[in-house]
Amino acid sequence: SQQGEEDPQALSIQEGENATMNCSYKTSINNLQWYRQNSGRGLVHLILIRSNEREKHSGRLRVTLDTSKKSSSLLITASRAADTASYFCATDAGGSRLTFGEGTQLTVNP
Amino acid sequence: GAVVSQHPSRVICKSGTSVKIECRSLDFQATTMFWYRQFPKQSLMLMATSNEGSKATYEQGVEKDKFLINHASLTLSTLTVTSAHPEDSSFYICSAPGPWAYEQYFGPGTRLTVT
Task: Give the pLDDT confidence of B23-63 residue by residue, as tens digits.
Answer: 999 988 999 999 999 998 899 999 999 999 899 999 999 99
Task: Give the pLDDT confidence of A59-69 residue by residue, as tens digits.
Answer: 999 999 999 99
User: Cβ–Cβ of B43/A101 closer than 8 Å?
Assistant: yes
Q: Which residues of B touch A96 (CB under 8 A)?
A: 32, 34, 97, 102, 104
User: Cβ–Cβ of A42/B106 closer than 8 Å?
Assistant: yes
**What's the whole-number mean pLDDT along residues A82-108?**
92
Backbone angles phi, psi at B54, to 5 degrees: -145, 180
Would you say residue A2 has pLDDT above 70? no
Pairwise CA distance, residues A94 & A78, whole Å: 34
Would you say residue A89 has pLDDT above 70? yes
Q: Which residues contact B10 (CB under 8 A, 6 or more apart)?
A: B110, B111, B113
Task: Give the pLDDT confidence of B94-103 residue by residue, as tens digits.
Answer: 999 877 657 7
Please give the pLDDT value at position A4. 63
> Quick one: CA dihedral A13, A64, A26, B36, positive or negative?
positive
The C-alpha of B80 sits at a distance from chain A's nearest C-alpha, in angstroms, of 19
